[in-house]
Amino acid sequence: MEPMKEVILMSKLKAITKKREFRTFLFLVIIFVIVGMVNSEFLSINNLQNSLKSSLLYIVLAIGLTFVLLTGNIDISVGGTLGLSAAVSGLILKNGGSIIVAILVAVLIGALIGFINGIGVAKLNISSFIMTLGMLEITRVIQVIYTKGQWVENLPTTFKQISQVKIFGLNLLIIIVAIGVILVQMYLSKSEKGRYFSAIGDNTDGAILLGVPVQRYKIYSFVISGICAAIAGLIFASQIGFISTTAGMGIEMTVIASAVLGGVSLSGGVGTVVGASIGAVIMISINSALVYMKIPAFWNDAISGSLLITIVVADALMARRSNKNIKKERLRARVLKPEEVVTHAHAK
C-alpha cells in the first residue's frame, strides 16, 4: 500500500507544479532569494511580516476583483469604493460612533456601489469597463463632497489598534485574510455555485443553457467586489490612521496588475484567488525590495510595468505552445495506425 500512496502523492505534487499559481509563487520566491542575497535583512521575519501587512488590502481587493474577472468583466471602481467607504466610516468613528456601526456602514456602501455596477452591467448591458470607470469618478466626487474636501484625521486609537493586534506573534489581520483566501478558494473551486462564476466567464451561452442564473451571478460578483473594496478601505483606515481625499487613487491598476500577474485572465473563466493574492504580494514586495537593494524608489513603476508586460507575454506564448501541442496530439489520436496510412498513400 505504501508505494501506492507515494505514487499518488508524487502525481499530486506534479500536478501542483504544473499550475500557474505555482509558477507565480516560484517567481515570488526567486525575488525574495535574489534580494535576500544582496541584503540578508530582507529575509528577516520582521520584514516578511511587514511585506505581508502592507499587501493585505491589495489581497482583499484582489479577492473581490477575481470574482468579477472570472465572469469576464472588470471592476475599475474599487479605488473609489475604498476611498468613499473609508471616509464615511472614518467620519462615523471620529464623531464617536461605534466600530461595529462603522464597519457595517462601510460594507453597506461597498455592496450598494457594487450592486449599481452589477445592474448597469448585467441588466443594462453597459460594458463593465465603462460602467465602473464612470462609477470610479462619481464615487470620488461624492467622497470629496461628503468630507467637504478635507482629510479625515484623528481616528480613535482603538480602531487604529485593530491592525496591530497580534496572536502568537502573527498579525491578526494576516491570519484572518489568509483564512479568508483559503475559504474563498474552496468555495470557488469546490462548490457548485462557486463554479458558476468561472462558468459564466468561460462560456456565457453555455452557462445559460446549463441553467446558471447568469445575470444574478454577475451582479453578485460586483457586490462581492464592492464589499471587498469596503473592507480594504477599513484596513486602509486602520493601518494608515487617516483618509486623504485621494485615498486609493490609482489602486485599481495595481490590483488588476496583481490579478493578471497571478494568472487571472481578463477574458474570464480562468484564475484563482490564491494566484491573485500571490500577485498582490509580488507587486507590493517590489517596493520594499527596491529599498533593501538601495535602488531609488523612482524605479518602482518602470520595473512593475515591464515585469507585468514580460510575464503576461511569456504566459501567452507558453499557453499558445501548449495549445499547439494538444492540437497535435489530438490529430495524432485520430489516426489509428499512422504507418499503414502512409504506406497506403504511397501505394496510391
Complex with other proteins: residue 178 or 303, whichever CB lies closer: 303
The three grid cell numbers given for residue 140, joined into one nine-digit string: 470620488
Based on CB atoms, which residue is closest to other proteins, 170 or 307? 307
| Residues in Cβ contact with 58 at an 8 Å cutoff, skipping those fewer than 6 apart | 232, 251, 254, 255, 258, 280, 283, 284
CB 274, min distance to other proteins, A:
20
Q: How far is the CB of 320 from other proteins (least distance, A)?
A: 7
Taking the least distance from each CB to other proteins, the nearer of 168 and 298 is 298
Instruction: State the nearest-atom distance from the C-beta of 306 to other proteins, in Å.
Output: 5
Distance separating alpha carbons of residues 35 and 30, to the nearest angstrom: 8
Amino acid at position 21, single letter: E
The CB-of-248 to other proteins minimum distance in angstroms stands at 15
Least spacing, CB of residue 206 vs other proteins, in Å: 20
Q: Given the complex with other proteins, which of 172 and 307 has the nearer CB atom?
A: 307
Rounded CA-CA distance 155/311 in Å is: 40
Q: Which three cell numbers stand for residue 62?
A: 484582489
**Residue 102 or 264 having the CB closest to other proteins:** 264
DSSP state of 167: E
Q: How far apart are CA 37 and CA 18, in angstroms?
A: 27
- Sign of the Cα pseudo-torsion (145, 151, 153, 158, in order): positive
Q: How far is the CB of 338 from other proteins (least distance, A)?
A: 31
Q: Which of 317, 345 has the CB closer to other proteins?
A: 317
**Residues within the interface to other proteins (CB under 8 A):** 74, 120, 124-127, 129-131, 133-138, 140-142, 144-145, 149, 253, 256-257, 260, 266-267, 296, 298-306, 308-309, 312-313, 316-317, 320
Q: List alpha helices for 75-147, DSSP H.
A: 78-94, 99-118, 128-146
Buried b or exposed e, range 124-143, using 16+ CB within 10 angstroms = eeeebeebbbebbeebbebb
